[in-house]
Structure 1
Amino acid sequence: MTDPALASRILDAVDAGFDRQLAFLADLVRMPSLRCAEAPAQDFMATAMRTRGLAVDRWKIEVADLRHLPGFSPVAVSYDNAYNVVGTHRPRTQSGRSLILNGHIDVVPTGPADMWTHPPFEPALKDGWMYGRGAGDMKAGLVANLFALDALAAAGVAPAADVHLQSVIEEECTGNGALACLQRGYRAQAAIIPEPMGESLLTAQVGVMWFQVRVRGRPAHVAYAGTGSNAIEASWPLVQALHALEHEWNMCGHPAFEGHAHPINFVLSRIEGGDWTSSVPAWCTFDIRIGMFPGMELEGVRGEIEATIARASRGDPFLAANPPEVVYHGFQAVGYELPAGTEAQATLARCHERVAGAPLQVTSSTATTDARVLGIYGGITTMVYGPRSESIHGFDERVDIESIRRVTKTIALFVAEWCGTEMRG
């Protein structure tokens, strides 16, 4: 365990630097790091790492480097401006255990900005919360990683093992950013991802799959609508059939998700169709996100999805002769359970209790994180543990300011205990 006097200095250093940490977080939230627009925020992170003396690796992700790897998810956008950033601390003498501090820079779209109390990319502090898109998911955690290392430096020590501070893209849609870090050779004996988990440890997460269904119809002038086949209307029975499958999967259950009333969610997220208001629509596409329990294999899931759509199509004469097409894009992510009883978890639990004054609680998630990438494909004990947030992916996303402080302290203590420390040179 970390020397009590050193631990106190580290905790005091987090407090002393916390105003700077919040200012840094606000600057980062102001950067709308949406998909394909993450580069300015990544440059900001690279500069912050470089000024702290970390060895910075900023590289462009290439689909060709990843496509053959287990865990790859297909992409439908250009990676021309897709960059990861990793800052590495290397000690004078390797005497501790290595660590990855991972976080994602990408954020999801805001929806109509006029539905927000505050503009989504103008961070606001109110009643103990910071508001802004990405404040909770997960720029607060990303910044906590950085300032946890700052706290050790301010206390006069440095980690006695390699620490890789990762700022990745694509967490919200594929996980290919974290996968690219593995492909680049980054490994460690443990990893922390401070996603907004309410200061609990994530022990299980569902898998996630994205796909698009392409439905064809027969166009006709609306004066003779009965001679056509409406592709938009024909799509609805397919959606209903998929929701019936969703219900079946939820009824099967899973021990890790017993506390969730509805852990498997199929969400109709986008729909487009037709070309002219006075024509029977000849086409329709709809996109669906589905969840799946750990242990469900991707090929089997795809088979059930396609069989469900095929059965539902038989009730429509036109679709029976012109079957819908299913195209997979984005997440093709299996579920993940954190192995129990590791030394890394015990260390995190001690550090959390020192800061919070209460035992570390565990939770499971009906969404996915990059933990599956590092855990399954990297063989790394990966712990998802981060601050309390509300309304992530919704209007008025916000993160609890004091929770950020506690999480930063816990991560800083974990780094000191897990990696060991040496005096700064």
Structure 2
Amino acid sequence: MDNKQKVMQWIDDHQEEITCFLQELIRTPSVNPYFEDNPGEAREGRVQQVMKAHMEKLGADIDMWEPDTKGLAKYEGYPGYSSDFDETDRPNMVATVKGSGNGKNLVLMGHIDTVAKGTEWTHDPFSGELENGNIYGRGAVDMKGGIAAMTMAVDAIVRSGITLAGDVSVATVVAEETPGIGTLAYVERGYRPDACIMTEATELKVAPLCRGVIWGKLTVEGRSGHIELPRQNWRDGGAVDAIKKARIFLDHFDHLNEEWTITKTHPLLKVPCQIYVGKVVMGEFISTYANKAEIYFDATYLPRERDEFGGGHLVMKEIEDLIHGVCESDPWLKEHPPVLEWQINADCGETDAQHPFIKTMQNSLEELKIPPVLEGCYFHTDMGWVEKAGIPIVNFGPGDPRDAHSSDEKCPVEDLIQATKTIALTILDWCRTTSDASLH
């Protein structure tokens, strides 16, 4: 039996253990403190201790540190950096299984934080319940499923008695959900492996691209007044309907989206970048003209649109220009321009789809008779800082990303096992075993 067969057999024989490890991660809450319903002691630190203990049993060298906000201050204005980040009990962890030193190095990376537990669950969000072939819980797919798969892939190799030529590291970083400082801190620490797998959920597709995301809040001013009475001209103190003014901006967002359908496409994405309005808050009382309207929107952008900092300021400027143009065409808005607040600027990344590492991953899928589909991520992942550091990186992981952030978030056990196998085969081919390396 060759090394690959040994590892595949180990994974088949330890499916229950792989499943239980994901359940353990889910049962150790790690809600990003940004979210208001963060349960007590749920910061990333506790689950990082679970990861540390697991990797120590494999003989890994452990590097654990909390991102230093002051030390990273030179990145002010860059995606991921936040001067008010509270690093207390929020450590990054890099656990490295050393190879013989004559092979390529690989890091398996994932963010250990989750969004809030949310509401309307039919399963306890921190139970890791197994039902009908799915593991349920907050973080099951975003992204503790990927972390479990990458960790157990290393288990399979080490516990099969195989020595690699190159180093393989398991890196779990904090604060991806916001602001993204964990991956920035990883790169700043000086890590430069030869390749990286970011184990975000991709339905087992190989995703060498992710889009960037910016969030904005547009506050449109109106003037209240009784809605049933004749209105005076606004210059004479009459009411102004903020809802009607907001509708102008919503219409122009739709027109801009029609343009973006043509101009903001990518061959690895099925849909173009768009401005998505996710929340609208308008009005005070049913018979009063609204004196304020708030439009919250999400806009995506492509790596080719990155600014000098690697973020989305060029796209922000495009939206700002649109809003300014609308104001110039409306007398009220010209004198009472809305307030635009940028809330999130999450970066993006792209690795050449022809890179040898991408081909290595596709070959691993083919060995398992899984279609080696190339498709970009439609959402932000942490790949930006890694890619900008010159490290070829791909997103690949178990589960459907549409389940992320949802009630009854789940990861299929079958996906978990197949992802573990795919990552293990990729490790063996990329890092090579000591015996393989000696032949080259």
Match of 2:22 among 14, 20, 25: 25
The 3-state SS of whatever aligns with 1:158 is coil
Superposed CA deviations along residues 35-93 of structure 1, whole A, max 9, x for unmatched, are: 22333323332333334332322222234444533852454964243624223325363
1:185 corresponds in structure 2 to 190
Contact preservation (8 Å) 1:234, 1:316: no
- Give distance in 1, aligned partners of 2:117 and 2:317: 34
**In structure 2, do the counterparts of structure 1 residues 169 and 250 end up closer, same or farther at CA, with 3 Å as the change threshold?**
farther
Contact preservation (8 Å) 2:357, 2:392: yes
1:209 corresponds in structure 2 to 214
Q: How far apart are 1:420 and its partner, in Å?
A: 2.5
Q: How far apart are 1:147 and its partner, in Å?
A: 0.9
- Give distance in 1, aligned partners of 2:81 and 2:284: 28
Matches within 5 A, 1:293-372: 293-297=302-306, 298-314=312-328, 316-334=330-348, 336-354=349-367, 356-372=368-384
TM-score by length of 1: 0.86
- Give distance in 1, aligned partners of 2:282 and 2:390: 43
The 3-state SS of whatever aligns with 1:395 is coil
2:235 corresponds in structure 1 to none
Q: How far apart are 1:395 and its partner, in Å?
A: 3.0
2:416 corresponds in structure 1 to 404
2:397 aligned partner, one-letter code: G
TM-score by length of 2: 0.83
Match of 1:289 among 298, 310, 314: 298
- Give distance in 2, aligned partners of 1:315 and 1:236: 14
Superposed CA deviations along residues 283-324 of structure 1, whole A, max 9, x for unmatched, are: 544332101233123333122110111222345544321322
**What are the ranges of 5 or more consecutive residues in structure 1 without an aligned counterpart?**
none
More strand as a share of residues: 1
Match of 1:142 among 117, 128, 147: 147
**What are the ranges of 5 or more consecutive residues in structure 2 without an aligned counterpart?**
34-42, 232-237, 307-311, 436-440
Q: How far apart are 1:151 and its partner, in Å?
A: 0.8
2:421 aligned partner, one-letter code: K
Query: Do structure 1's residue 384 and structure 2's residue 381 form an aligned pair?
Result: no
- Give distance in 2, aligned partners of 1:25 and 1:301: 38
Q: How many residues align?
A: 413
1:104 corresponds in structure 2 to 111
Q: CA RMSD in A?
A: 3.0
Contact preservation (8 Å) 2:277, 2:295: yes
- Give distance in 2, aligned partners of 1:81 and 1:343: 39
**In structure 2, do the counterparts of structure 1 residues 67 and 235 end up closer, same or farther at CA, with 3 Å as the change threshold?**
farther
- Give distance in 2, aligned partners of 1:45 and 1:316: 57
- Give distance in 1, aligned partners of 2:356 and 2:345: 31
- Give distance in 2, aligned partners of 1:225 and 1:143: 64
**In structure 2, do the counterparts of structure 1 residues 81 and 219 end up closer, same or farther at CA, with 3 Å as the change threshold?**
farther
1:204 aligned partner, one-letter code: L
**In structure 2, do the counterparts of structure 1 residues 414 and 304 end up closer, same or farther at CA, with 3 Å as the change threshold?**
same
**In structure 2, do the counterparts of structure 1 residues 236 and 120 end up closer, same or farther at CA, with 3 Å as the change threshold?**
farther
Match of 2:68 among 46, 62, 77: 62
1:249 corresponds in structure 2 to 260
Contact preservation (8 Å) 1:207, 1:291: yes
Q: Percent identity?
A: 27
- Give distance in 2, aligned partners of 1:22 and 1:92: 27
- Give distance in 2, aligned partners of 1:404 and 1:323: 51
